Amino acid sequence: MAKKEQDLQQVVEDALAEQKVPHVKFKGIDPRNIDVDRLTKPSKETRQERWGKGLTFLAIILIGVLIVAIIGFVGMHGLATFIDNKVNVFHFLFSTDWNPGAGKNHVGAAAMIVTSFAVTLLAAIIATPFSIAVALFMTEYVSGKRVQILQSFMELLVGIPSVVYGFIGLMVVVPAVRAVFGGTGFGILTATLILFVMVLPTITSLTVDAFKAIPKELRKSSAALGATKWQTIYHVVLRAARSRIMTAIIFGMARAFGEALAVQMAIGNAVLMPYNLVSPAATLTSQLTSQMGNTVMGTLPNNALWSLALLLLIMSLVFNFLVHLIGKKG
C-alpha cells in the first residue's frame, strides 16, 4: 500500500509539473463580451422554433382530422340505411336476402359477410405454415446472401399491384380450378388462393421480425442443453415468438379482408350464401367495387353499400384493436 501511495504521489507530481510549462504560445480568438440583455430576450431562434413546431403540428392535426373525417363520413352514410331507411340491424347482419332495390326487408348482407370471413380465414390458414417455414428458413437455417435474395423477392411480392394478382387469378387460377373442380372456376377457392399469395409476404416479414427479436442467448443455452435444432425452434423460438406470430397473422388477415380488386376479379360476384368453395360468391369489398357505380346517391341500394363500407371500416378497427390487445398481453 505504501508503495502504491508513493507511486501515486509521483504520477501526480509529474503531471502537475508538466502543467506549468505550456510549450506553444497561444494565439487565437478572444471570447466575445456576452451581452447579458440578449439572454433574457427572445431571438430569431425562438421564432424559428415556434414556427417549426407549429408547422409540423399542423401536419399532424391534418392527418388527425382526415381520419376523423373518414370515419365520420363513412359512418354517417353507412348508418343512413338503419336510421333513414329503417333497416333492421339484425336483418342486415343475419339475413341472406340481398336485393336492396326491392325495399328495406331485402338488405341482408350475411352472404357477403360470411364469404369475406371465409376467404380471409382460409387464406390465413394456408399462408401461416408457409410463412412460418420461410421465416424459420431465413432466420434459423440459412444466412447471408440467400436470406437477402429471398427477402427482396418477398418485398417484390408485396409490391405487385393487386390488379395484377387479380389478372393472374383470371389467367391461371380460374382455369386451373375449373379444370379440377368443374363449374365456372370463380369462387371462394380461387379468391383464397390469390389472397394466400398476397398475405404471404406480410405474415412472413412480420414473423421474421419476431424471430429476429429473440435473443441469441436463448437459442445458445437451449443448444448447450443438448437440444436439437428443431427442439430449440419448437420449445424456444416458436414459443417466445407466439404472440408476435399472432400479430403477424392478424395483419395478414386485415390485408385479406380489405383487399378489393383481386378478389372482385376472381370470386364471381354473385351475392349468394356460399354452399361450396367453387361456386361464385361475393365479399363485402367485391360488392362495393362492382356496384357503387350502379346506384344513385341517397337511395336505399346506395346506402346499403355504404353500410358494407362501414362494416369494412369497423372490421379494420377491430383488427387494429386485436393487434394492440395481443401487444399488451404478449
**Footprint of another protein on residues 73-112 (CB under 8 A)?**
73-74, 77
Residue with Cβ nearer another protein (115 or 285): 285
Is 161 a residue that touches another protein (CB under 8 A)?
A: yes
> Near another protein by CB under 8 A, which window of 41-49, 79-87, 91-99, 181-189?
41-49
Is 141 a residue that touches another protein (CB under 8 A)?
A: yes
Is 134 a residue that touches another protein (CB under 8 A)?
A: yes
Is 52 a residue that touches another protein (CB under 8 A)?
A: yes
Least CB distance from residue 221 to another protein, whole Å?
A: 17
> Near another protein by CB under 8 A, which window of 80-88, 102-110, 176-184, 250-258?
250-258
> Near another protein by CB under 8 A, which window of 97-105, 175-183, 227-235, 270-278?
227-235
Least CB distance from residue 211 to another protein, whole Å?
A: 13
Residue with Cβ nearer another protein (189 or 259): 259
Pick out residues in 168-197 that bind another protein (CB under 8 A). Answer: 168, 170-172, 197
Residue with Cβ nearer another protein (42 or 101): 42
Is 43 a residue that touches another protein (CB under 8 A)?
A: yes
Residue with Cβ nearer another protein (99 or 316): 316
In whole angstroms, how far apart are CA 208 and each of 7, 12, 137, 205? 57, 56, 9, 5
